[in-house]
Every structure is written in C-alpha cells, then in structure tokens.
C-alpha cells in the first residue's frame, strides 16, 4: 500500500529541487568552463578590483565552483530521494539548501 504524498511536501520538495538544481548547474558549469575548457578571458583573475579572494587564480576559482556544485548536487539528490520515498525531511532539506545559498553569498563577499 503506497502512501499519498501531500501537496505541501510536493511544493517544498519542488522548491528544494529547483533551487539546488539551479546552483548545481551554475557551479558545475563554471567548473567546466574555467577548469576543463580553460576559457578564462572573460574572468578578472589576479585579485584586482572588488572581487572575492577565489578570483586569484583560475584553479582556485574552479575548485570553489566544483565544491559548491557538488554540495548543491548532494542536496539535489537528497531532495529527489525525499520526494520519491515520501520522507518527512523536506523542511530540514529546505533549511540546508537556503543555508548553503547564504553561505555561498557570504563566501563571495568575504575578503
């Protein structure tokens, strides 16, 4: 006998999946462009101007992008797993996703 998934669980899980999927895509895309394809001409590497510390080199930037991409990828996987298995962890996962977004924003401001 399967349990029916509530509307609130679907909505919250959908928000988790959309947010974490978006940030996974951004992080992994930046890693691919800078770390693998080595297309760095549009990036202000060298630490000049008002940029975060991880713009000192392409390697550091791609490592930070990969790290955030993987973290958000894990949250994406957990969000999908939560929705498919009807677990009651959607509020916790939403909180973790929002917390990671704030951490990434703060990390970009930190000098």
For 80-96, the pLDDT digits (tens) are: 998 888 777 889 999 99
For 67, the enclosing helix (H) or strand (E) is helix 58-85
- Assign 4 a pLDDT band (cuts: 50, 70, 90): confident
Which residue is associated with the tokens 């916790």?
92
Is the entire prediction scored with pTM above 0.75? Answer: yes
d(CA 68, CA 26) in angstroms, rounded, equals 9
């Amino acid at each position: 006998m399967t349990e029916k998934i509530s509307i609130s669980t679907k909505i919250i899980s959908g928000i988790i999946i959309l947010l974490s999927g978006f940030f996974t895509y951004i992080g992994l895309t930046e890693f691919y462009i800078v770390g693998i394809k080595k297309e760095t001409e549009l990036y202000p590497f060298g630490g000049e101007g008002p940029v975060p510390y991880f713009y000192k080199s392409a390697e550091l930037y791609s490592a930070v992008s990969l790290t955030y991409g993987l973290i958000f990828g894990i949250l994406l996987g957990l969000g999908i797993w939560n929705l498919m298995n009807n677990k009651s962890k959607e509020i916790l996962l939403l909180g973790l996703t929002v917390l990671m977004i704030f951490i990434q924003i703060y990390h970009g401001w930190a000098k």
